[in-house]
Amino acid sequence: MARPLDALYAVGLTAVSPWLVWRALTRGRDGYRRLLTGHPCPLRAPADQAPLAWFHGVSLGEVNLLAPVIQAFKARHPGWRVGVTATTPAGMQEARKRFGQDCLIACFCWDFTWQVERILSAWSPSLIILAESQLWPNWLAIARGRGIPVTVINGRMSPKSAAAWARRPRLARRIFPLVHSWMVQDASMAGHLRSLGVPADAVSVTGSVKFDGARTDRNLPLLATLRDLFPVPEGAPVWVAGSTQEAEEPAILDAYSLLLRDFPDLRLVLVPRQPDAFESSARRLGERAIPFLRRSTGAIHPPGATPRVLLLDTIGELSAAWGLATVGFVGGSLDGRRGGQSPIEPAAFGVPVCFGPHVWNFRDITASLLAAGAAKTVAAGPQAAANLADLLGDWLRNPEQARAAGQAGRSFVALQQGATDRTLDFLAARGLVPATASSRQAG
């Protein structure tokens, strides 16, 4: 049955449909075509009566953070089935790769009533688990009507989002209580939720699940593959610039050129955040005559040159590529539009890491890394390239200081781990899943 929001969604989809068609035709993306034409949803076998937990992560980052939670959930509750949905093409690709062998996988792009009800009818979930902060009004209302509890794990809220909800208290008090239980990253979000009408006993500060999924082994098979693909001279430093935005890359490449004056063997691994930016990044490197290697094709530009830069134009490999780094920069933090990306993965590898001043998405984590001496902030603005080169150059000239910073980051990450267990314990404490030995001991 259609709901009033469906009409609003239809108007919005109509407005952007020419853009979606253009993207589907010009980019050749299966995800955009499917978004316009519909998404198949696998059905459960009629005899399958096991309870099912439906996990949803919008994009690649949320799907990645779900991995340790799903693994631990299945270990604690082997009698449950698991379904996983994602929204973006990159998120769907990662979901199929990570969970496709033993989980139901489907795409969830729009909050239309019929799309929500199709998956609910196909899967009959007993529990819905949303990653981070994606609230879908129709989905929440329909699930409430069917008696299916919805939970949010690894919840976070930027200051901008908190202020926006605070200006709409009546709307917030209609939507937020539709979530049965909240497991959030920090006390600030717990406070925001309570101010928006969420009962205190429905909220638990469990920390960030991303700490539990962070890799620390520099002998990973993927790292060996990347080292073979992109040989680095013995003792040469490597700078990994990860999750970069297009607006930041000119400053990054300018900083790299400055650093080469003092560190001629320095190698750069450039990892754009958005797949749509891969071609722009390649073009930018070519225009600057910087020899580089494309991970996706193995081609060297210009042919026959010795590549100084690895353009990691693939999906899902950054988390391992941090293990190549001597020093690191986390993108989305210089231009003031994205609010930063997670610095947890480089810190877990013991990489001294820096980022710009715009890190509100990870405010508490970045503040803690800075306080521990594991990270530094790069001043933005017209001098961003020079500031970045100065900061990284200081670490490269003082390797003992860099190692100390990296060890401080590794220790900090180790101390924060355990959010997955706290998350599953709270689900049990709220009566949403059976208590296990682990959750009984925790309680």
Query: What single string gives the DSSP state of each residue in 209-230?
Result: THHHH----TT-HHHHHHHHHS
Regarding whether 245 and 174 lie in a shared domain, the answer is: no
The whole-angstrom distance between residue 166's C-alpha and the CA centroid of its chain comes to 26
Q: Which residues contact 103 (CB under 8 A, 6 or more apart)?
A: 70, 81, 82, 83, 84
Count other C-beta atoms under 10 Å from residue 101's C-beta. Answer: 8
Regarding whether 409 and 262 lie in a shared domain, the answer is: yes
Regarding whether 235 and 369 lie in a shared domain, the answer is: yes
Q: Does residue 258 fall inside a structural domain?
A: yes
Q: Does residue 152 fall inside a structural domain?
A: yes
- pLDDT by residue, tens only, the chain of 443 residues: 457 776 665 666 556 556 555 655 555 555 555 554 456 788 898 888 999 999 999 988 899 999 999 999 999 999 999 999 998 888 898 999 999 999 999 998 778 888 889 899 999 999 999 998 778 889 999 999 999 999 999 998 877 888 888 899 888 888 999 999 999 998 888 998 988 889 999 999 999 999 998 988 898 899 999 999 999 999 999 999 999 999 999 999 999 999 999 999 999 999 999 888 999 999 999 999 999 999 999 999 999 999 999 999 998 899 999 999 999 999 999 988 889 999 999 999 999 999 999 999 898 899 999 999 999 999 999 999 999 999 999 999 999 999 999 999 999 999 999 999 999 999 999 999 998 766 544 44
Asked if 239 and 325 touch (Cβ cutoff 8 Å), the reply is yes
Q: Tell me the C-alpha distance between 238 and 321, whole Å.
A: 11
Report residue 108 as tokens. 């969830």
pLDDT at 45 (0 to 100): 84
350 phi/psi in degrees, rounded to 5: 80, 30
Regarding whether 115 and 102 lie in a shared domain, the answer is: yes
Regarding whether 190 and 138 lie in a shared domain, the answer is: yes
If phi over 0 gives left and psi between -120 and 50 gives alpha, with beta otherwise, what is residue 339? left
Asked if 420 and 68 touch (Cβ cutoff 8 Å), the reply is yes
Q: Does residue 29 fall inside a structural domain?
A: no
Q: Does residue 200 fall inside a structural domain?
A: yes
365 phi/psi in degrees, rounded to 5: -65, -45
pLDDT at 442 (0 to 100): 44
Does residue 302 have a cis peptide bond before it, meaning omega lies within 30 degrees of 0?
yes
Q: Tell me the C-alpha distance between 55 and 139, whole Å.
A: 13
Amino acid identity, residue 385?
Answer: A
Regarding whether 209 and 290 lie in a shared domain, the answer is: no
Q: Tell me the C-alpha distance between 242 and 173, whole Å.
A: 38
Q: Tell me the C-alpha distance between 100 and 327, whole Å.
A: 35
pLDDT at 377 (0 to 100): 98
Q: Does residue 11 fall inside a structural domain?
A: no
Regarding whether 366 and 264 lie in a shared domain, the answer is: yes
Q: Tell me the C-alpha distance between 349 and 323, whole Å.
A: 6
Q: Does residue 3 fall inside a structural domain?
A: no
Task: For residue 354, list its beta bridge partners.
Answer: 329, 376
Q: Tell me the C-alpha distance between 51 and 93, whole Å.
A: 25
Amino acid identity, residue 191?
Answer: G
* Nearest CA among 231, 291, 232, 280 for reference residue 257: 291
pLDDT at 113 (0 to 100): 86
pLDDT at 13 (0 to 100): 56
pLDDT at 114 (0 to 100): 84
User: What CATH number corresponds to the domain at position 280?
Assistant: 3.40.50.2000
Regarding whether 52 and 197 lie in a shared domain, the answer is: yes
Determine the structural domain holding residue 175 and report its residue range: 48-213+417-442
pLDDT at 35 (0 to 100): 52
Regarding whether 350 and 231 lie in a shared domain, the answer is: yes
Tally of domains in the chain? 2
Q: Does residue 269 fall inside a structural domain?
A: yes
Regarding whether 411 and 278 lie in a shared domain, the answer is: yes
Q: Does residue 53 fall inside a structural domain?
A: yes
pLDDT at 315 (0 to 100): 87
Q: Which residue has the tokens 């190698």?
A: 267
Per DSSP, 271 falls in state: E
